[in-house]
Structure formats: C-alpha cells, structure tokens
Amino acid sequence: MALIKDILRTMDYGPSPESSDHVRAWLLKHEGGFGPFIGGRFTKPRELFDVFNPATGERIARATQGSPADVDAAVAAARKALPKWAATPGEERARVLYALARHVQKRERFLSVLETIDNGKPIRESRDIDLPLVARHFYHHAGWASLIESEFPGTRPVGVCGQVIPWNFPLLMLAWKIAPALAAGCTVVLKPAEYTPLTALAFAEICIEAALPPGVVNIVTGDGETGAALVAHDSVDKIAFTGSTEVGRAIRKATAGTGKKLALELGGKSPFVVFDDADLDSAVEGVVDAIWLNQGQVCCAGSRLLAAEGIADALTSKLRARMARLRVGDPLDKSTDVGAIVAPAQLERIERLMRAGAEEGLEIWRADDALPNRGSFYPPTLVTGAEPASVLMREEIFGPVLVSTTFRTPDEAVALANNTRYGLATSVWTENVNRALEVAARIKAGVVWINSTNLFDAASGFGGYRESGFGREGGREGLIEYRVADAPWGKPNPAKAPALDVLPGLAPADEGATGIDRTAKLYVGGKQARPDSGFSYAVLDPKGREVGLAGLGSRKDIRNAVEAAAKATSWAAAMAHSRAQVLYYVAENLSARADEFAGRLQVTTGASRRAAAAEVDASIRRAFFYAGFADKYDGAVHATRSKFVTLAMNEPWGVMGIVCPDEAPLLAFVSLVMPAIAMGNSVVAVPSARHPLSATDLYSVLDTSDVPAGVVNIVTGEANALAATLAEHDGVDAVWYVGDAAGAARVKAASAGNLKVTWTRSALMDWPGAEGREFLRRATQVKNIWTPYGE
C-alpha cells in the first residue's frame, strides 16, 4: 500500500472510478433496443444496430436503424406540430426551454456517465465541460425565445428542421441544434451519430418529462442512409449539419434547387500560433487543451502548432515533459486525461494517416506507447519537422496528434496559418496585444482565441470560413439561421434567359432615340476590356431592334475579373469612413447624370419616361443608403465568460460574385453591388443579360468616383453560364444570384467545390424596397475573437 508521503513526492494518481450503476440499470431497462422517438413517444424497435463502449469494445445497447418510413413519420409529426409551436407566445416557449435546462441539470451525473460510456471521452470532460454547456444553451435560448418578436421583427420560423449531429460531442451538439430551433419557433427531426445515439435518446425521455409538446422534437437513429433520407425529404425546410467536409459537400449538392435553408459546420485544421514573447508554460497547457481534449476528436482542435523559431526548441521540450504526465486509460476514471477513440474505424483512420506521415520521414514522438489492453486507444503524439505540404499538416487527423513546424516572422506565421482549405478556429499566444489583434484579423478563421483555446459559450457564435462550412451556431448570429423574412420575395420569375445573338443583320433602333452607336466592353481591374472570345452580342429593345452591342464574356473573362478583384485588398483594409465617402461620391456622380441614365432605360427597356426616372432616382437613393451604412454596420461584444471580451466582428467575404436579374436593370445592379462593396468586398458583377447597358454605363461613374481598380468588375454575357463559372471558381468566396430556378440550383450545386456561401433568389423582387440590414448581413461573415479581459 502506498504511503501518503510517497504519493506527495511522486504525485502519482490512484484509481478514482465514477460509478456507472444507474446508467447500466437504464441500459438494462432498454435491452430490447431503442425505437425512434416520434410524435412525443418511442415507437417499437425494428431493425437494430449495436452500440459499443469504445473503451472496452463491449456492446452496451441496440438502436433502430431508421428507415425512410421512420423519417417520413418523424417529419410528418414535426410538420403537424409546427403551426401550434410557431404560434406559441415566446414567453411560453421560453418556459419549456427553461424546463429542459433544469431537467438536464438535475440529471447531469447520469448524462455525463452515459456520454462517457457511449463516446469514450474522460468523465471530467463530460461532467465539467459538456453538460454545463448543454444546460447553458437551453437557458440562453430560453431568453431568446421570450425576446424573439422584438429582436427579430419581420421574421418567422423557418419551419421543420432536419438536424444531423456528429459523435464527438453528442449531447452538446444536440443542444447547439435543438435549443435555437425551439427558441425560434421551429420543430425538429434530429439524427444522432450512429456511434453515439444514447444521450440523444435519454434527452428524448427528458422531453417527455419536461412536457414538450408532441412532435416538436423527434429523434430518429441510424447511419448515413438515415441522414440522407432526412436531407432529401421534401417537407424539411432547413438542414443543419455538423460533420465531415466530404459529407457537407454532398449535402450542399443534394439540397441545391430544393429551397432548403442550409447551415454546415464542418472540419478544420486549426493553427495554434505561439510567438517568441508568449508565456510558454501557459502555452503548453493551452496545447494540451487544444489537441488532447476529447482525444483530439474536435473539429476546431489546435492540431497545427506553429512556433516562433527562437522558442521552438524550448516549447517542444516543455511540451514533451507535459505529455509524459498525461494519463491514458479508463474514461470513467476521474484521473484520466485521454480516453478512448470513438470506434475501431476511426482508430484505423488515425493509424493510416500516421503511417503516411512516417513514410514522409516525419519525426514522431510519444511519451509512452503503453495503452489499455482492450478498447480503441491512441497515445498522445507529437510530430515535428513537418512541411506545409506534409500529409499530416494538410489532412484532418481527428485524433490526439499534434503536428509542429516553425516560423520566423509574423507574416510567415499568418501565411502558414492560412495555408489550409479550412478556416474554423485559431489560437494566438503572445504578450503583445497589438500583435495578437493584428494576427487575429489576418487569419481566416471563424473563431480566434487569444492566449486561450477551446472556449465556448451559448452567447457567442461558432462556425467557420471556407471548407469549414458556413452559418453560425450560438448567439444572435446562430439564432437568425432559424428565422426567415415574413414576406417572400415575390412570385417565381417566369422569364426565360434571352438568346444572345452574335450575328449582324438586326435592324437598328431609331437613330434619334439612341444617339450614337454603343459597343460596351467588359470592365476589369478598372479598365475597359474586350471579351476574350472576341464576340459581342446584340442588345435589343422590347420591339426586337438593336440598341447597342455588349461583350460576350467567357470563363476566361471571369478568371481575369476574379484575379483583379483579389488584388483589390486595400479596399477591405480601408477605413469604413473612407469607403463611405467613395460611395457618396458614386451617388453624387450618378445623380449628376440622372437624365442620361433615365434615357438609356427608356430606350433599352421600353419604360415610360416617368418610370425610368423613378428607377434612376431609386438607384441614387440606394447608393446614398449604403454609403451611410458603410461605417455603421457594427459588430458586437458578446456576454460570454467572465474575464473575456468576445468581439463579434463583421468581416467581408473577400471576392463576391453577383449575378443580376433582367428586371430593373440599373436598380437591381446598384441594390446588389452597393451593400457588398460598402462592407469591404470586391465584386465580379454580371449585369442583366437582356439589358446590360445601364450597368456598363456605370464605368465612367466608377472611374470618376475614386473607386479603386478591381473593386467593381463587370462581365456581360449569358448570366447563368457566367454564374456557374463564378460558383465553381475557388477564388470566389461568396455568390449572390437573382434569376431563374434552374440557374439558382446550378449555382448552389457548383458552389460545393470550395463550399462557398451562396444567396440565391428565383422570384420577382420589389426592387424599390430591396434594401436593409439583411443585405449587409449577407455581405459579411462573423469572426468571434475571445480576448482576455480583467483578472
């Protein structure tokens, strides 16, 4: 028997197991298997699959493999419950969410033990991190439920939500999805991960206990086929998915053209940046939390360590010493630091990637390879000497593996951090506050932690850039994902895309009506440019007479325009006040030429003199409106954890593709382009194919209004073909499309390549009223920066 004096000297930990008796009894009660939870009750189990404890390999339960019929029944129950739940006053929905939070808290120990048995994560993490956050999300969104009418005026619940969650944080991801949906007035069909369905099924019992109305929450278990059936269901209005980038890309394609709202929170390869003035001891503890939390099975895990060259050796030495004291073993032991990998398949994936890294000659270090003799375990691992192209530096391992490299300058650190297709999170360690905030602004990630890592709160949005997905969960920006505008844009657009004729021989319009002949070129990088194809097409008036020529843009013209837009980085970096002054100047110059633009609209569209003048006047007002908003669309400071200021910064997407409709050719162009550039984006705009000359006439307005070269680029031609090219282009960060249904569907499907965000509309629009914060919100993404504040 060890003596106390020896224990105090060695600081060895004895076993400290958490009892699982109550959980075992609950599982025994359901040994016949779990059926889906539909319409407020559990249905009869049918085809069952096994659920295993990853720490032991033993079967602990069986759950139903959800069939298309189960999904149909769950969606039908959610659809039936929707009208009443959506009409329920916010304060009453708040009471239900408060009840769910309280019932979760009352069963924290039971749920944390069940989560650990089902998932393999250490009990300390389930008990001290996951469950408190679960309750926090329900409490927080109970508050939103009571405020929804005043804080989100002019919106309504999106409807029936299909939610698919991963296996790494089973109950927490459930809370992230269900709490805002219920607060917003939506109903839910949730599919938990096949590996970890048990806490979701326990939560279903809590829904009954808390008197949640039947059908508001439905839970269908199963594998990817069950999830696919839910995604494809015609009666689902929104899909919210957290999981791998590959599956997210497939969902983006599957939902294209369906009208479903979509939010994706996907993979990551997050950088952990340590500068030479950082507190190294604190940084080492940060690394432990960043990569060995939940065995590294965290989408935002700090899996890439970027260390300043001058302190890299010292940091590595301290890190190895700390790794030597990490305890790997029974997740139910409160002394365990690193638990089990969720399943043998995931363990094999980790081992396969590590073999690939070893074949590249990377140095792989582990403190101790001794692991439990059963279950799926992998030791904490440090990989050094990695290059940016190394497989372990590029691929998301999703295991307890830290890959390290060095940098010399802050610019190199930012370049290395951004050298990934992902953009979920980053952690920056430095004692220099100026450097911390500068680097935070330059790294492309949805969440930045300064001198901290893996901090979460229901009041702060979470989500990524680029192939880490789009949309946010948590806070105001997460709740708006479950609301839509009260009034739709209008009736479906019946117009067909015009046939663009490059052949001569069309009868010209009356000379007196058009003035001189006009051949409009493309506008790229601040200069007029001939189309690469060498072709122009005839622009016709409503009577079929030629009123001018416009360039027939091609894929190469889009490429040139995107390159020009990408070079216009000074626009985003400029003061918002400076951008506002430029937009005011655009409005003033457009106003000075109002009669000329009105005359062009009369000839090309056949509008009356009064209607043409009204469109120009509305366009001028629209430019003034967004000039005023350029320095007034503020971010926020979220009320998250004490000792932190969480800054929610509105950042431009970067390069935006904007495809305009035929109706209101000048006003629609101005209404879409102005909010985008007001927020600091640069734009590749495709004007109305039928009536492009009103947009191309803006060349000279832009040239004389101090708009920097490349901020606005205009490519005329076949709108749908050019829209697809923009959606496919990896250099384009977001696409707005207003046109027909086929074009909208094609844009969404094509955007799956780099998972760029899209905003598409295939309905006629009341363009005189098309302005406001919705356009500004769509022109930005939110970066949440966690900054230490106070003692």
pLDDT exceeds 80 at position 786: yes
Please report which confidence band the pLDDT of residue 69 belongs to, taking 50, 70 and 90 as the band edges.
Answer: very high
- Helix axis angle for 131-151 and 170-184, nearest 10°, is 20
Residue 758 pairs in a beta bridge with 735
Tens digits of residue pLDDT in 21-34: 999 999 999 999 99
Mean pLDDT score, 201-228: 97
pLDDT exceeds 80 at position 505: no
DSSP 640: -
Least confident residue range of 365-374, 470-479, 585-594, 682-691: 365-374
Whole-angstrom Cα distance, residue 492 to residue 498? 17
Please report which confidence band the pLDDT of residue 414 belongs to, taking 50, 70 and 90 as the band edges.
Answer: very high
Query: 361, exposed or middle or buried, with CB in 10 Å at 0-12, 13-18, 19+?
Result: exposed
* Residue 307 near residue 315, CB atoms below 8 Å: yes
DSSP E strands: which ranges in 724-769?
734-738, 757-761
Mean pLDDT score, 50-64: 97
φ, ψ (nearest 5 deg) of residue 321: -65, -40
Whole-angstrom Cα distance, residue 758 to residue 749? 10
Stronger pLDDT, 147 or 763, i.e. the higher one: 147
Tens digits of residue pLDDT in 535-576: 999 999 898 888 899 999 999 999 999 999 999 999 999 999
Token look-up 């999830």 returns 227
Q: Quote the pLDDT of residue 641.
A: 82
Token look-up 């951004």 returns 418
Measured from the Cβ of residue 530, the count of other Cβ atoms closer than 10 Å reads 13
Whole-angstrom Cα distance, residue 603 to residue 160? 47
Please report which confidence band the pLDDT of residue 491 belongs to, taking 50, 70 and 90 as the band edges.
Answer: low
Instruction: Tell me which residues are annotated as active site.
Output: 265, 299
Please name which of 660, 752, 653 lies closest in space to residue 262, comparing C-alpha atoms. Answer: 752
Q: Quote the pLDDT of residue 506.
A: 60
Q: Quote the pLDDT of residue 513.
A: 47
- Mapped onto helix, strand or coil, the DSSP state of residue 65 is coil
Whole-angstrom Cα distance, residue 545 to residue 507? 5
Whole-angstrom Cα distance, residue 404 to residue 384? 5
Please report which confidence band the pLDDT of residue 104 belongs to, taking 50, 70 and 90 as the band edges.
Answer: very high
Tens digits of residue pLDDT in 330-357: 999 999 999 999 999 999 999 999 999 9
Q: What is the 3-state secondary structure (H, E, C) of 464-524?
A: CCHHHEECCECHHHHHHHHEEECCCCCCECCCCCCCCCCCCCCCECCHHHHCCCCEECEEE
Please tell me the pTM assigned to this model: 0.92
pLDDT exceeds 70 at position 398: yes
Amino acid at residue number 697? D
Tens digits of residue pLDDT in 445-486: 999 999 999 999 999 999 999 999 999 999 999 999 999 987
Tens digits of residue pLDDT in 668-717: 999 999 999 999 999 999 999 999 999 999 999 999 999 999 999 999 99
- What is the percentage of the chain residues whose pLDDT exceeds 90? 88
Q: Quote the pLDDT of residue 492.
A: 67
Please report which confidence band the pLDDT of residue 504 belongs to, taking 50, 70 and 90 as the band edges.
Answer: low
Query: 94, exposed or middle or buried, with CB in 10 Å at 0-12, 13-18, 19+?
Result: buried
Q: Quote the pLDDT of residue 2.
A: 67
* Residue 446 near residue 424, CB atoms below 8 Å: yes
Tens digits of residue pLDDT in 722-779: 999 999 999 999 999 999 999 999 999 999 999 999 999 987 788 999 999 999 999 9
